[in-house]
């Protein structure tokens, strides 16, 4: 019975540690990404939903540019995360997904407020 309790209690600190590491990685490009998101929000607030398609692709392209920049400039930092058990795919998938969901949620809120 003690073994089962230990197995159940162990994943929570691991998940919290992984989340903290992913947020640390996200901080390396969060400012640029949030500035792009805020500029898109101001455009959609001014012009309305007609600009959504252009802003959607603008955000995708800028996320690609951020990916390229971080991947080339901070390539040695990935060893830190790999040694702590996080692969590049996990880092990129989780941060880019979080950033894009945040972008979509803020656009929805902006359209509601407008």
The pLDDT score that the predictor gives to residue 13 is 66
Q: How confident is the model at residue 3 (pLDDT cuts 50, 70, 90)?
A: low
Distance CA 53, CA 15 (A): 35
- Give the residue among 35, 101, 99 at the shortest CA–CA distance from 64: 99
Q: Find the DSSP H helices in the chain.
A: 2-9, 11-26, 30-47, 52-73, 77-83, 88-113
pLDDT tens digits, residue range 26-79? Answer: 999 999 999 999 999 999 999 999 999 999 999 999 999 999 999 999 889 999
Match 């947020």 to its residue by tokens. Answer: 23
Q: How confident is the model at residue 81 (pLDDT cuts 50, 70, 90)?
A: very high
- Give the residue among 23, 32, 86, 42 at the shortest CA–CA distance from 64: 32
Average pLDDT over residues 74-90: 91
């Amino acid at each position: 019975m003690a073994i089962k309790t230990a197995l159940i209690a162990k994943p929570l600190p691991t998940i919290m540690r992984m989340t903290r590491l992913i947020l640390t990685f996200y901080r390396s490009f969060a400012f640029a990404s949030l500035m792009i998101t805020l500029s898109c929000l101001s455009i959609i607030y001014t012009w309305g939903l007609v600009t959504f398609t252009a802003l959607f692709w603008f955000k995708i392209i800028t996320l690609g540019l951020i990916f390229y920049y971080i991947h080339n400039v901070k390539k040695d930092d990935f060893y830190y995360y790999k040694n702590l058990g996080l692969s590049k795919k996990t880092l990129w998938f989780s941060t880019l997904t979080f950033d894009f969901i945040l972008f979509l949620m803020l656009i929805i809120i902006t359209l509601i407020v407008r």
